[in-house]
Amino acid sequence: MSQCIGKVIAIGETRTGESQRGKWASQQWVVEEQSQQYPEVWVLETFGQDNIDKFDVHVGDVVSV
């Protein structure tokens, strides 16, 4: 599996809900590849409030995915 570096260009609202297994949270964020002539754009999703808090992604951050 390869690793790519990109810049966070958008972050969605945190969505929350409750299922039979308990409460859940998810957040989508958009990353644009930085090092290519024709950059790719990815939509990624973080699931779980603990992970959302742990990664604490902001627009403008450069991330490795």
Q: In which domain, by residue range, is 44 found?
A: 5-64
Instruction: Give the DSSP per-residue string, the chain.
Output: ----EEEEEEEPPPEEEEETTEEEEEEEEEEEESSSSS--EEEEEEESHHHHHHH---TT-EEE-
The predicted pLDDT at position 48 comes to: 95
- How many separate domains does the chain show? 1
Percent with pLDDT over 70 in the chain: 98
14-43: pLDDT as tens digits: 999 999 999 999 999 999 998 778 889 999
Please answer whether residues 3 and 9 qualify as being in contact, where contact means their C-beta atoms are separated by less than 8 angstroms.
Answer: no
Per-residue confidence at 2, pLDDT binned at 50, 70, 90? confident
Res 49 pLDDT > 80: yes
The predicted pLDDT at position 3 comes to: 80
Res 1 pLDDT > 70: no
